[in-house]
Structure 1
Amino acid sequence: MTLSASTSQAVDLRVQPVDAVLDRVARSLQVRFLPETVVRKRRTVGARTDRETWVRIERRLLDKITDQGWNGAECAARLDRVAQPAWQGCVVWRDTNEPVMWRADETDLLPAHPIGNAILSEAPELPDEWWDGLNASLDALTAHRTRRLATPDTQTITQASVTESIRVVFSGDFDTTVQRWVPAHADLNWANITAPVFSLFDWEDWGNAPQGLDSASLWGSSLAVPSLADRVRHERRRDFESRDGKLMTLFACSKMLGPYAHPADPRSEPARRMAEQVIEELQAD
């Protein structure tokens, strides 16, 4: 099965025909998709089924699939005390015409709506119980053990990649060595969390990462709303006060201030101020 495109890298599922892919998945999982529910993104397609489940279909280049595979959603099903939609099953196949694999994961429906886009411009109304749910799930996640490595943006996070990301943007006499690696969702932003009932979804990239990666990622996606960013830092202060959490804050800031940053990003200036503060703290340690 293939999609017409000049190169495999150029495929964008928002504009390419996906009917054949949906038909194949529907036959394999023995479901019927509700056409009005189909959501198309650059490399994924999702839809609700007639048995009240959700199917997420992802297209991934072979060189973006590490030795650990790409069964994150399936492996996350064993995570205890982490609020997430229950995983039901999957179908995986290799494209016969391109260096690409396809994977479709079926899960329970979300218990509530996603909060918004990855980066918020307005503060959502989140009760204290919601924050309690966030803290309980993230704390439970870090208490687990796994051999998986986190792959944020499909790139495996390593000590070398952390150091490079930070040093490309920030100078200063401080050590970038990570002390503690713990399980992380690795794509924690407001598009992957529900409210008013807390639930965390899209587990494709989870695995071991520096302590504080998830907290710093959520803070970074909140930075255009200062009160929300402050609340994230308050709720996850144990992460942010740790040395690794400070490194992850710089790691998050590097994405907003680095060579690929958008010049009009409203988060740039607060990220710069926070980075200066964190560097001073790391140098004082």
Structure 2
Amino acid sequence: MTLSAPSARAVDLRVESVDIVLDHVERCLQVELDRETVLRKRRSVGARTDRRTWIRIERRRLDKIGVQGWNGTECAARLEGIAQPVWRGCVVWRDADEPVMWRADETELLPGPPIGNAILSEDPRLQDSWWQAFNASLDALSAQETRRVATPDTITVTQALVTEAVRSVAPAHDLDTTIERWVPAHADLNWANMTAPTFSLFDWEDWGNAPRGLDAASLWGSSLAVPALVDRVWHERRHDFESRDGKLMTLFACSKILGPHAHPQDPRLEPARRMVERVVAELQAG
């Protein structure tokens, strides 16, 4: 009889005990974590240290790690011209009981608090200097080279994925979904991963090559409940949105909002539907 390999449990680190994991990180990195600053998310846990740094700990299933690994924060440390926390080091280990791995990355502290949740409901009223730093970092990122492939929501972005997403929101239209230009992208650009008043971009786990405009469209989707903010995002990244790839990425972002798990009270639903109609018309017009 052949024994099947154990499967990974569905774990939410917001409610799971992580004391053993925190103890392990302290021993390996020779650091003391401030337990009063522990920040829990579904897949990760973070905390300040006694040497004024931040440690982010992530749990990931082996089948979600993929060929390129999951060292996004480490690989992002070599990028130039981007405002991000300096990476100090890491420890990685395989779980003794389940087919999962743990990774703890140590970085400098952020220069300010995160702007808000991933999706905003109020305008953060960012200064022009913030937008200038934001644009400089995104432009610098797209100009660099990497062999990594972006994994938004831990799913590798491919031409097939783009085609499926576009057709899910425009099924009655025979659109050419071919991406012309792939460039490095953060791939998780939202308001929870940037700081203010000083701009800094963090959480680089999923970065890599992606269709041009992915980051701009992702932030646009996160801003859609705030008309003034979504207009500002569009204005600042207009060159991305007006490109053909950017239009396809806008439909890609809309597919996430309008998908099968959409909440009927989501204020972004109607603006996303209107945008789908507009972009489809623009693509058809050539």
Deviation per CA, 1:130-173: give whole Å up to 9, x if none: 00001000000000000000000000000000101111221213
Letter in 1 for 2:185: A
Q: 1:173 to 1:230 in 2, by over 3 A?
A: same
- Counterpart residue number, 1:98: 98
The 8 Å contact of residues 7 and 99 in structure 2, kept in 1 or not, is answered as: no
Q: State how 1:69-88 maps to structure 2 within 5 Å.
A: 69-88=69-88
Distance 1:54 1:125 in 2: 27
Q: Does structure 1 residue 107 correspond to structure 2 residue 78? A: no
TM-aligned CA deviation for residue 8 of structure 1: 2.8
| Displaced runs of 4 or more, over 4 A | none
Letter in 1 for 2:18: V
- Counterpart residue number, 1:8: 8
- Counterpart residue number, 1:215: 216
The 8 Å contact of residues 169 and 276 in structure 2, kept in 1 or not, is answered as: no
The alignment's TM-score, normalised by the length of structure 2, stands at 0.96
Q: State how 1:1-285 maps to structure 2 within 5 Å.
A: 8-171=8-171, 172-285=173-286
Distance 1:174 1:167 in 2: 8
Secondary structure at 1:101 match in 2? strand
Distance 1:254 1:41 in 2: 24
**Gaps (5+ residues) in structure 2?**
1-5
Distance 1:128 1:10 in 2: 42
**Gaps (5+ residues) in structure 1?**
1-5
Identity value in percent:
74
Distance 1:273 1:120 in 2: 20
TM-aligned CA deviation for residue 9 of structure 1: 3.3
- Bigger CA drift: 192-201 or 261-270? 261-270
Cα RMSD between the aligned structures? 1.0
The alignment's TM-score, normalised by the length of structure 1, stands at 0.97
Secondary structure at 2:225 match in 1? coil
Number of residue pairs aligned between Structure 1 and Structure 2: 280
Distance 2:31 2:132 in 1: 36
- Counterpart residue number, 1:3: none
Letter in 1 for 2:51: R
Distance 2:175 2:33 in 1: 53
Distance 1:154 1:258 in 2: 17
TM-aligned CA deviation for residue 36 of structure 1: 0.9
